[in-house]
Structure 1
């Protein structure tokens, strides 16, 4: 549901010709972070690292920082940005295809944990660390994904190592004592509710415990907590998940998770206005300012982005029929929502798309057709 602050800012932006824009309610974000942190406060619950790839805007990171144990980054650019915005917070660096300059940055900036994706990557990291006189702490990333039918996103293919490949890393580690093995990392799939996430976590723990011979192992269970674009009021059950993980935990272990979307998605809105309403081949269309070059998620995930209409329109074209909400791009794929009920929708009305706080602007194809960039607004609360 749209917050009062976002509604007021949306109307003001429309009056000032400041649309489209992303509007982030930092008060709502803070409440979500407090809820997650409270759930993860008991014995045996995992450390909370935020996956910066979901939304690394500086005000977002600063709002989240008091509730985090660390941040997970996945590129040299993210590393530089997050280290600059949050200089004191622990960082983990993950992701396939790490370049030599990125590995050098990891060593220079003192990343706390490196998630190693392959024996070749481990060899290169060990060589660079020896040449620069550095020590580095690593987790080996295992790929247990396999066939995960029905999941929103299975992390197979290039992510991590097959179980047998993990064993090939032992010889590298044996001859490079300056590379310290701290544990194992696995992120198998995304879009899981708490029961499925707990089942996946148990699978990871069983594998890791059978392969790690460490006095105080660290096991990163990944992220992938579900969000429901069809029902924004339905949230991931953090208390149930936290209790389940605590029941699985063993003394001496450090467990860790790295959610992104489920932390920030609900506190951001993409706000725009209606430029035209027209009928074509028996269907109604509302053409909105901006488009999926700003908010690519609905066309990528093939869902209807939830929205609120703030009536502002005058006597121009309007419809009360089922309507498809599209943007300004010259492609039929520029669609926010198909054949949805919007009440009366008229030229000039403001449309605020919810659940735009993660994988919005940062994952979109900004420069297609060179339309103006959106504004960015962060509401304190």
Structure 2
């Protein structure tokens, strides 16, 4: 990844900010640590619980250096690479969570005093072998959300254990004197909602709490920590009533349990912008096609290739110059720099004057997963640059 760190002028001076944007090397991501910290604090307050940050949403080191101190309840790490990023930089709790965790990752996590989120009996047995005579770490058992609330409303993913396997895993860890401090579950991205049908986020939390005494009977230790995941949208600020109802629903659990949540998308999404530059413009059919220097190789999620119905983002256009006054007004299709027909990254379906070569195409809400979930090796494209914008 090409890393470039820069500080933009404060946003209050729009002309200076636009001048700075036009000077950037594109394609690029612009990340704002002040927005990350504000979103973290906002979401944590709405939940009324501790909030663990899922670093896989945005493991950018320059960003972490500037805002990692705000993650007071800890971070969740899904790879040894992410652990290496936070080692020596994050003093709050670290949770490692990956079903394929190998022995090297386990040893590194042990050295960093991480809490292990256990996905299977086999993984627990592997951890016991790696521990040997070392001090045992704290562990949390992950329960499959679909198995936990068997209503058909939660996706049948492959993460976590059935109740039966969780009990077997509890026995194995207890016999090896490995402490189990809690339980974990997660229903998937954008799954946070409250309803009266028995399969919402609050029902998941109550089901996890109801299972905790069964684990305690096998280990002889109380289970007092419940990580009920998150699934928060990047637009969580528009769900005030949902959060109010959710807090009321989980309040009884907080008498006996430390209920915590996780978030990656909710914390990082609104703190990142993807910026690409128009390299060519043509009229084709009843639209303008703006060919950009950045596309699915740099921001795979914008191409919507994993969506049945493609609702493309509508970017903001920062023009370097005025369009010809006599140019017809047409919709604009924004495409990337590869030879793939799927490399369509945005649309402006309203009638507009054509963009010009050198104009910037700016996509908001690209701070979570957009950069790391992209297929950078296609056509040997150079990676996107990254800038830090300090508000």
TM-score range, shorter-chain basis? 0.7 to 0.9
Partners of 1:134 and 1:81 in 2: CA distance: 24
Q: Does 1:55 align with 2:58?
A: yes
Which residue in the other structure is 1:275 paired with?
A: 279
Aligned length: 364
Which residue in the other structure is 1:25 paired with?
A: 32
What secondary structure is seen at the aligned counterpart in 2 of 1:125? helix
Q: Please, which moves more after superposition, 58-67 or 181-190?
A: 58-67
Q: Does 1:207 align with 2:215?
A: no
Q: Does 1:93 align with 2:101?
A: no
Structure 2, unpaired ranges of 5+: 1-10, 195-199
Q: Is the 8 A contact 1:20 1:375 kept in 2?
A: yes
What secondary structure is seen at the aligned counterpart in 2 of 1:22? strand
Partners of 1:148 and 1:265 in 2: CA distance: 30
User: CA-to-partner distance for each residue in 1:104-125, whole Å, 9 max, x for gaps?
Assistant: 11112211x1011111110110
Which residue in the other structure is 1:136 paired with?
A: 137
The structural deviation recorded for 1:318 is: 6.7
Q: Does 1:349 align with 2:356?
A: no
Q: Is the 8 A contact 1:284 1:323 kept in 2?
A: yes
Partners of 2:185 and 2:255 in 1: CA distance: 20
Q: Is the 8 A contact 1:37 1:67 kept in 2?
A: no
User: CA-to-partner distance for each residue in 1:177-199, whole Å, 9 max, x for gaps?
Assistant: 1x111121111222124424334
What secondary structure is seen at the aligned counterpart in 1 of 2:266? helix
Q: Please, which moves more after superposition, 91-100 or 140-149?
A: 140-149
Superposed CA RMSD: 2.9
Structure 1, unpaired ranges of 5+: none
Which residue in the other structure is 1:340 paired with?
A: 349
What secondary structure is seen at the aligned counterpart in 1 of 2:352? coil
The structural deviation recorded for 1:155 is: 6.2
The structural deviation recorded for 1:333 is: 1.0
Partners of 2:81 and 2:295 in 1: CA distance: 26
Which residue in the other structure is 2:123 paired with?
A: 121
Partners of 1:109 and 1:258 in 2: CA distance: 20
Equivalent of residue 266 in structure 1, options 257, 263, 270: 270
Paired residues for 1:7-18 under 5 Å? 8-9=16-17, 11-14=19-22, 16=23, 18=25
Q: Structure 1 220/249 Cα, relative in aligned 2: closer, same or farther at 3 Å?
A: same
User: CA-to-partner distance for each residue in 1:34-88, whole Å, 9 max, x for gaps?
Assistant: 3223334xxxx432110000001124324143243100001111111112432x1
Q: Does 1:182 align with 2:189?
A: no
Question: TM-score, with normalisation over the residues of structure 2?
Answer: 0.83
The structural deviation recorded for 1:315 is: 5.1
User: CA-to-partner distance for each residue in 1:324-375, whole Å, 9 max, x for gaps?
Assistant: 2110011011121246337334123211100111102111112322233322
Q: Is the 8 A contact 1:193 1:237 kept in 2?
A: no
Partners of 2:241 and 2:340 in 1: CA distance: 38
The structural deviation recorded for 1:238 is: 8.0
Paired residues for 1:150-229 under 5 Å? 154=155, 156-157=157-158, 159-177=159-177, 179-195=178-194, 196-213=200-217, 214-227=221-234
Q: Is the 8 A contact 2:71 2:92 kept in 1?
A: no
Partners of 1:248 and 1:225 in 2: CA distance: 22
Equivalent of residue 380 in structure 2, options 355, 370, 381: 370
